[in-house]
Amino acid sequence: MTVADAAGARPDPSESGPEPPSSAQLAEAARALRPRLIEEAAETEQRTYYSPGMHETFLAGRFYDIYVPRAYGGLEFDMPSYVRIVTELARGDMGTAWGFGLAANHAVMAAAVFPREIQDALFADGFRAPSTLAPTVIARRVRGGWEIEGIVQYCSGAPWSNHYIGTITVKGAAADGGDALGAFVAPSANFTMLNDWGRTLGLRGSGSHSLQFHGIVPEGYVLPGLDWRDVPVEQGTLGLQLHGNPLYGGRYMTFFAMSIAAATVGAGLAALDVFEEQMRGRLAGYFPPLVPRTQDPTYQQYWGAASTKLMQAELLLEAAAQRWMEYARLNAEGTRPFTRLDDLRLATVPREVMVDVWDIVNDQLFRPIGASIVENGTRFERIFRDLAQATSHRNPQMRETMFRALADVHFRNPGRS
C-alpha cells in the first residue's frame, strides 16, 4: 500500500465544472506555485516526498492529467507542454518536480500498448505511476493471470502513485522455454512502498522509494516480449488506434530522459535565481572600494554566461521534445518511420542537457557565489546537492554506453540519417 491509497481521488472529468486548463495555463499555474514550493522544500526533503497538500493541489489543478488520454478525462498535452510544466515546478523545488514528473509521465506508456479493456481499468481513477527499466520483478503464469514478486528500487514518485509500470522478467516466455523480458503494469494493491529513501546526497524529496511486489495481476497486465527500450512502432500502436494521437505512437528512450532533464533545467534556473538575488543584495570584493555585485564586471560575466548557457539548455530540450512529436506524427501518417536509430540519437539530447546544466551551475554559479550561501539548509545548497545527484542517475551514467549503442545501430543501418 502507498500513501496514494489514503489520498483523494482525481476529480471526475464527466462532472460539470470549469473548462480544462490549456497547456499555457497549467504552465502558469506551475510558475505560481514557485514560492510555495520553495517554502516547503526543506520539509519535502525531510519527509522524502512532497506534502499531502501539494498532492491535492496537483489533483485539483489537473497536473497529473497532462498525458492521460482525453477519452478518460485527461488533458492529452504534447511533450513540449509537459517539459515546460516540469521545468517550472523544478524552478521551485527539484525534488518535487522529479517525483511529480516521474509519476505523471508514464501514462503515455499505459495508453500506448495496453488494449482498451485494460486501459478502462487503469484510467478509471487517474493514473500516477513510477517506472524503471530494471527487470527485477518476476512474473509466473497462474490461473487467472500472473503472479508477480520482486523489489524495484528508485521508483521516483511512488508515494502518491496508484500504479506502477515497467519491465518484468517473464518465466518460461522465451521460445526455448527460458525467461524473457516483458512489460507490465500493476495497481497499488499489488505493491508495498518501502521506507528506504532519503539517505542520498540529493533528491531526497523525490519520493524515490523501493516497491515490493506481490499477488496476482490479471492476464492482460503482463505483456511478454515487449521491451520498452525498443518497441517497434513503425506499423502503429494500439494507443494510436484507440486515441488517434501520435503522442501514443512514439518510442520511449527519449521519452524516459525528458522528464528528468526538464527537472534538471528547472533546477539550473533556480540556481541562477539565487545567484541573482545575491548579486542584487551583496557587494563584490574584500577591500574598498566595494561595489554592488550587479556592477562588478566579474560577477556580470558569471551571470551572463550562466544565463546564456541555461537558456541554450532550455531551448535544446524544447527542440528535442518538438522533434520527438514530429517523428511520432510522421510515423502515424505513414510518411516516415520512427526508428530505434531515431530514438537513440534523439535521446542523447536530454542526457547531454543534464550534464551541461550541472557543469554550468558548478563552474559559473557555485564557485563565485560565496561560502555562506551554501551552508547546510540554504536553498542553493539543496539545489546543488539535487543537481549532483541527478548527474549520477543511470541515464547520464550510461552516457558512454549509449554513445556506443547509437554508433552501432547507425553503422549497421547505412543510408539512414
Task: Write the pLDDT tens digit of every residue in 51-71.
Answer: 999 999 999 999 999 999 999
Q: What's the CATH code of the domain at 388?
A: 1.20.140.10
Q: What is the C-alpha to C-alpha distance for residues 101 and 87, in angstroms, rounded to an integer? A: 10
Radius of gyration of the chain (CA): 22
Domain assignment of residue 107, yes or no = yes
For residue 243, tell me if it sits in a domain: no
Q: What is the DSSP string of 279-317?
A: HHH-EE-SSSSPEEGGG-HHHHHHHHHHHHHHHHHHHHH
| 86 & 32 share domain | yes
Judge whether 207 and 194 are in contact, CB under 8 Å.
no
13 and 104 fall within a common domain: yes
Rounded distance between C-alpha atoms, residue 160 and residue 259, angstroms: 17
**Residue 415 binned pLDDT confidence (cut-offs 50, 70, 90):** low
* Phi, psi for 135 (deg, rounded to 5): -90, 55
CA 17 to CA 73: how far, in whole Å? 12
- Ranking 14-18, 179-183, 344-348 by mean pLDDT, the lowest is 14-18
Mind listing the pLDDT tens digit for each residue in 233-286?
A: 999 999 999 999 999 999 999 988 999 999 999 999 999 999 999 999 999 988
pLDDT > 60? residue 197: yes
300 contacts: CB under 8 Å, gap ≥ 6: 294
CA distance 240 to 375: 50
Which alpha helices (H) appear in 130-252, and where do they start and end?
238-243
pLDDT of residue 416: 56
| pTM, full prediction | 0.94
129 domain residue, yes or no: no
* Whole-number pLDDT of residue 394: 79
Could you tell me the pLDDT band of residue 353, with boundaries at 50, 70 and 90? Answer: very high
Of 227, 245, 274, which marks where a domain is finished?
Answer: 227
The C-alpha atoms of residue 55 and residue 195 are separated, in whole angstroms, by 19
Rounded-to-integer distance, Cα 54 and Cα 70, Å: 24
Name the more confident of 5 and 363. 363
Helix (H) or strand (E) holding 109: helix 107-113
| pLDDT band, very low/low/confident/very high, at 7 (cuts 50, 70, 90) | very low
Do both 288 and 407 map to the same domain?
yes
Residues 82 and 18 in one domain: yes
Listed in sequence order, the residues at least 6 apart from 287 whose beta carbon sits closer than 8 Å to its beta carbon are none
Q: CATH number of the domain that 20 lies in?
A: 1.10.540.10
Is 235 within the bounds of a domain? no
In a shared domain, residues 189 and 262 = no
Tens of pLDDT, residues 115-170: 999 999 999 999 999 999 999 999 999 999 999 999 999 999 999 999 999 999 99
Residue in 125, 152, 143, 137 with CA at minimum distance from that of residue 218? 143
pLDDT per residue over 94-119, tens digit each?
A: 999 999 999 999 999 999 999 999 99
Same domain, 363 and 392: yes
The answer to whether position 304 is within a domain reads: yes
Over 60: is that where the pLDDT of 296 sits? yes
pLDDT tier for residue 287 given thresholds of 50, 70 and 90: confident
Percent of the chain with pLDDT over 70: 95
- pLDDT recorded at residue 10: 44
Per the domain annotation, does 46 fall within a domain? yes
Q: Environment class of residue 176 by beta-carbon count within 10 Å: exposed (0-12), middle (13-18) or buried (19+)? A: exposed
Q: How many CB atoms lie within 10 A of CB 415?
A: 4
Same domain for 95 and 32:
yes
Residue of higher predicted confidence among 6 and 189: 189
Rounded Cα distance, 55 and 59, in Å: 6
Grid coordinates representing 275 are 545567484
399 — pLDDT class (breaks 50, 70, 90) = confident
Contact status, residue 331 vs residue 246, Cβ threshold 8 Å: yes
Give a yes or no: residue 239 inside a domain.
no
- How many other C-beta atoms can be found within 10 angstroms of the C-beta atom of residue 21? 18
Q: What is the rounded CA–CA span in Å between residue 323 and residue 329?
A: 10
Helix (H) or strand (E) holding 112: helix 107-113
Domain tally for the chain? 3
The answer as to whether 236 is a domain residue is no
Q: What is the pLDDT of residue 9?
A: 45
Distance, in Å, from the CA atom of 342 to the CA atom of 393, rounded to the nearest integer, reads 23
Q: Is the pLDDT of residue 330 over 50?
A: yes
Bridge partners (DSSP) listed for residue 211: 152, 193
**Distance, CA of 384 to CA of 328 (rounded, Å):** 35
Q: Is the confidence at residue 13, as pLDDT, over 90?
A: no
> What's the grid cell of residue 353?
542537457
Domain check: are 261 and 393 in the same one?
A: yes
Pair (351, 308) in one structural domain = yes
CB 58 within 8 A of CB 128: no
| Cα–Cα distances in angstroms (integers) from residue 338 to residues 97, 147, 267, 344, in the given order | 29, 34, 31, 11
In terms of domains, do 106 and 146 share one? no
**CATH number of the domain residue 222 falls in:** 2.40.110.10
Distances, alpha carbon 346 to alpha carbons 64, 166, 321, 392, in Å: 25, 21, 9, 20
Cell numbers that stand for 306 in this block: 550562466
> Over the chain, what is the mean pLDDT?
93
- Are 268 and 213 in a shared domain? no
Quick one: cell of 113?
500498448
**C-alpha cell of residue 148:** 508477480
Pair (297, 166) in one structural domain: no
Q: Which range marks the domain in which residue 73 is found?
A: 3-122
**What is the per-residue pLDDT for 106?**
97
- Is it the case that residue 17 has pLDDT exceeding 80? no
> What single letter denotes the amino acid at residue 43?
E
Give yes or no for a contact between 34 and 92, defined as CB atoms under 8 angstroms apart: yes
